[in-house]
Structure 1
Amino acid sequence: MGGIELRNETLVVDREPNRLDRLASEFSAILNQFDIEHVYVAGYVAILAGRARSTEDIDVLIERIDAETADELASTLADNEFWGPAMPLGSMFEMLDEGDNIWVAPDEQVTPHLEVKFVRDEFDRASLEHAITARIGDTTVPIGPLELQIAYKLYLGARTDLEDAVHLHTLFEESLSEPRLERWVTRLEVEPEYERLKRA
């Protein structure tokens, strides 16, 4: 498929950044001011890779930060005309610390929004530690490694997740690391789903 390819751990998307891409890029720029490691995962990755489907949120994992950094981040987001549609941004640390996701969106907007959560388990950590770069026009954002995204989508198992997995696998089959993909398939115990995927 012209216009989208995986080259040297970079997903190159040959089009102008859209509304979702600009939102991800703006949020990344703010996180980068605080050196907060982060990675975009889930449905947004499939959409970046050309899957035609809508989404109301962009999932982003961030490394654990302390209460003081969270307060500074909330303040900077507010200064940049972001808000928390589901709660005040000032409650950010408390919500994240309790394992909840938080919503962040441009002022007065509810969708699309960012759904932010702390890295929680080995799969989240692997997404963060092995993130690759997505380049959309002149914008770049970190995204989870495609092999783990595919395996995790199989693990989630909802129709949209399975369709995302098929799309990513079909599009990038030649470029993916099969040993890496199979390792995640085994860790997530989705071997039967993976066998079906390969036949799709």
Structure 2
Amino acid sequence: MEKISEALQRLVEALEKANCKYVIVGGLVAIHYGRNRVTQDIDVVVDTDKVELLVSSLKDEGFEFSERELLEAFKERGRVTLFFPEDVFFHVDLKFAKDELDYEVLNGRIRGELLGIHCWIESKEDIVVAKLIYGSSQDEEDVIAILLNHGLSEGLKEKAKKFGVYDKLCGIAEMIGLAC
């Protein structure tokens, strides 16, 4: 976790220096909310109109990436992989905000602490809904752990309805003994 912590610190510094609106999402946040698992990456959603400043800030913090691929991802509102120096397995998946879910997550972000680093993280409601939408077996396991640790709120139910995953949420909740 030491390498992840160092990479997260550098990533947050680069994003904040570049004045990006960002939110850390995915596996690292699932761990934060009580899921016992490992991850080999940091997932982040970014919204910015200052891509040149972002490129410069990421380079200043030592991230390795294809500038051409990052600029293309910015233009197409896609994703790009950033590598941490001298580690071929660990990486950052940087996604430029594109759809309603991305903007929902950015607007619902909360200031939290991951691995001792203060940063913007995905809310419990947003991570559960996103994981239900993506729907891999690991995503489902993340949802189960988060629900077991934090329960089922009315806000989560409403957000699940909004994004069309309410039945899926209730099915998982009931499977682990929570009334929906």
Same-fold call, TM > 0.5?
yes
Q: CA deviation at 1:109?
A: 2.2
Residue in structure 2 matched with residue 139 of structure 1 by the alignment: 117
CA distance in 1, matches of 2:85, 2:102: 28
The CA RMSD over aligned residues, in Å, is: 1.9
CA distance in 1, matches of 2:147, 2:95: 26
Q: CA deviation at 1:136?
A: 4.0
* One-letter code aligned to 2:160: V
CA distance in 1, matches of 2:115, 2:170: 35
For residues 58-91 of structure 1, the C-alpha deviation after alignment (integer angstroms, 9 at most, x for no partner) is 11001132xxx3233223322332101xxx1344
CA distance in 1, matches of 2:32, 2:89: 17
- Kindly report structure 1 stretches of 4+ aligned residues shifted beyond 6 Å: none
Q: Scaled by the length of structure 2, what TM-score is found?
A: 0.87
CA distance in 1, matches of 2:114, 2:53: 29
Residue in structure 2 matched with residue 157 of structure 1 by the alignment: 135
Residue in structure 2 matched with residue 198 of structure 1 by the alignment: 173
Which sections of structure 2, spanning at least 5 residues, go unmatched?
none
Identity %, equivalent residues:
25
Q: Larger helix proportion, structure 1 or 2?
A: 2
CA distance in 2, matches of 1:137, 1:99: 28
CA distance in 1, matches of 2:149, 2:102: 23
Residue number among 26, 40, 59 corresponding to 1:56 in the alignment: 40
Residue in structure 2 matched with residue 11 of structure 1 by the alignment: none
Residue in structure 1 matched with residue 160 of structure 2 by the alignment: 185
| Structure 1 position 96 matched with structure 2 position 74 | yes
Residue in structure 2 matched with residue 116 of structure 1 by the alignment: 94
| Structure 1 position 80 matched with structure 2 position 58 | no
* One-letter code aligned to 1:154: L
Q: How many residues align?
A: 175
1:70–1:124 CA distance, 2 compared to 1 (3 A): same
Q: Does structure 2 retain, via aligned residues, the 8 Å contact 1:71–1:92?
A: no
Q: CA deviation at 1:36?
A: 0.8
| Structure 1 position 126 matched with structure 2 position 104 | yes
Aligned residue runs from structure 1 range 160-175, under 5 A: 160-173=138-151
Q: Scaled by the length of structure 1, what TM-score is found?
A: 0.79
For residues 19-62 of structure 1, the C-alpha deviation after alignment (integer angstroms, 9 at most, x for no partner) is 32332221111111121110011222112234222222211001
CA distance in 1, matches of 2:6, 2:60: 17
Which sections of structure 1, spanning at least 5 residues, go unmatched?
1-16
* One-letter code aligned to 1:181: L
CA distance in 2, matches of 1:100, 1:18: 29
Q: CA deviation at 1:128?
A: 0.9
